Amino acid sequence: MIQDNLINPADFVGSSLDQAYQESLDFIYSFIDYSMKRNLRNAKRNFKIERMTHFMHLLGDPQNNYKVIHIAGTKGKGSVAAFCANALIAAGYKVGLYTSPHMIEFTERIQVNGRQIQKDAVVRLVSRLRDVAQEVPDITTFELMTALGFLFFADEKVDVAVIEVGLGGRLDATNIVTPFISVITGISYDHTQVLGKTLSKIAFEKGGIIKPGIPVVIAPQKSEALMRLKKISIDRSAPVIEVGKDILFVERSHSLDGQTFIVWNPGEQEKMNAYLNNDGQTEWKPVEFSIPLLGYHQVINATTAYAVLVKARDLGVKIPLDAICNGFSNTSWPGRFEIIRRQPPVVIDSAHNRDSAQKLRQALDDYFPGVPVILLFGVSLDKDYSGILEELLPRVSRVIATQTIHPRALNGEEICRQVLTYGKPCLAITPIELALERALEMAGEKFLLLAAGSVFVAAAVKDIWLNVTKSNRNHVAENSKDGSSG
């Protein structure tokens, strides 16, 4: 094990800590960062799990010091991870959570019991990574981030770490773990230049996290993806828990405050039929959950997490039902149909492929039926932006196209050219601060403002919104002081 003797965080206070933290991030980002590449077509050849295996071995293999729930999929990974982590925390466990990307601050990626990693811990752990990284040619930014998370969880002595895959699964840096449960969330088309152009090929990459003999929970899938995942599971003798078959569910209610749903297993179907036929007036009742996350897709994500937790319980992890209920009811996951203002409504969403855009459109119809929409839209050039727009534009009155500072961001003029082919008016405005200001003016009191197309757009809008809100609060506070002193 590499000893932590290079940097003492106690040496840093105030601005010196901020500087050391920024220098640590600069070090991490000084390596190859495929998320920043405008062309990912040739990136796959550089994804080598052996490199990460060697790197972590030099660091003492900290990822082997705790139980792991490993989650891959196209959409819903973060939400499922958050539901699992919160339920385990409510059950009394010390839980690590590793997700990507972050919305606003790097520290969001690595959490223990809901608390983000502190800046001094980042500085301390990066100091441990520096020399070792030099011994591993072609090490990447994401591999360094992942190693940082694995080290932090070991140092914190977590009981369980919930680990979200970055890209794909088979060759992802996180795939060096040996989980006690694997999870595959919904698979759809995304990163096709890296993962493949068919659902079967994408499922092959995602299913690469399925380990021999280790149970895998599979969320509802299109048949092509499900067939490939089941074949992988059979070949590796991995028991399958299929959501929608082995665990059944149905939504009960939804509002802007959250939604409720019930779950049962096939052996309880006769009791469930009686329950439904008697309007719930039966001695037996299904398990019911309340979640604050909005959209029917979050019911699917929460049910997937429930299936994971039930299997964990079967494997000896004590998780009372009330802990799952409490954990679910306290789960938040920013940037996923997040309402940052109710009236007039402002919504941000991280939908960045056609399938997630379809789910976003359904959520708009479910929660804001008939409300006209102004779309503030920005997207990465490697995404299926034509497919995203095709799903969203029938629900949209007009579009403001914008561009974040991310290197892969598509320019607003190109977005407008696409939008105009659908007969919808479009303005291209950058930077995003001006685009948001103009969109709010256009939305007025009658329109819903939706910021979507990319996690980077959702993050930028939320960051701007939080800063403006904070500035307004400070202004009111200053005025109150002035008034009271008179």
Instruction: Give CA angle at 111 (19, 120), nearest 5°.
Output: 25
Question: Quick one: angle between helices 296-314 and 354-367, nearest 10?
Answer: 110
Domain 338-471 architecture: Alpha-Beta Complex (3.90)
Domain 9-249+288-329 architecture: 3-Layer(aba) Sandwich (3.40)
Condensed to tens digits (0 to 9), the pLDDT of residues 129-161 reads 998 999 999 999 999 999 999 999 999 999 999
**pLDDT tens per residue, the chain (486 residues)?**
334 444 555 555 556 999 999 999 999 999 987 655 545 555 555 678 999 999 999 999 999 999 999 999 999 999 999 999 999 999 999 999 999 989 889 999 999 999 999 999 999 999 999 989 999 999 999 999 999 999 999 999 999 999 999 988 899 999 999 999 999 999 998 877 778 889 999 999 999 999 999 999 999 999 999 999 999 999 999 999 999 999 999 999 999 999 999 999 999 999 999 999 999 999 999 999 999 999 999 999 999 999 999 999 999 999 999 999 999 999 999 999 999 999 999 999 998 889 999 999 999 999 999 999 999 999 988 788 999 999 999 999 999 999 988 777 899 999 999 999 999 999 999 999 999 999 999 999 999 999 999 888 999 999 999 888 666 655 445 555 555 443
**Residue 66: strand, helix, or coil:** coil
Q: Which residues lie closer than 8 Å to 193 by C-beta, 6 or more apart?
A: 40, 41, 382
Residue 68: phi and psi, rounded to 5, are -130, 135
**β partners of residue 158:** none
Tally: H helices and E strands in the chain: 16, 17
Structure tokens at 435: 């685009």
Instruction: Give CA angle at 459 (454, 464), nearest 5°.
Output: 130
- Strands of 424-480 (E only): list them: 426-428, 448-452
What is the average pLDDT score of the chain? 91
Give the neighbor-by-neighbor strand order of the sheet with 426-428. Answer: 338-341, 346-348, 448-452, 373-377, 398-401, 426-428
Structure tokens at 89: 């925390």
In residues, how long is the chain?
Answer: 486
DSSP β-ladder status, 160-164 and 67-72? parallel
Instruction: Give CA angle at 121 (117, 122), nearest 5°.
Output: 80
Spell out the domain ranges in the chain: 9-249+288-329, 338-471
DSSP character at residue 386: H
DSSP character at residue 109: G
Residue 26 CB neighbours (<10 A): 10
Residue 411: phi and psi, rounded to 5, are -75, 150
CA-to-CA distance for 153 and 93, rounded, in angstroms?
A: 13
- Which pTM does this prediction carry? 0.91
pLDDT at 129: 97
CA-to-CA distance for 144 and 100, rounded, in angstroms?
A: 13
The distance of Cα 88 from the centroid of its chain, to the nearest Å, equals: 18
Terminal Cα-to-Cα distance of the chain (whole angstroms)? 63
Q: Which amino acid is at 183?
A: V
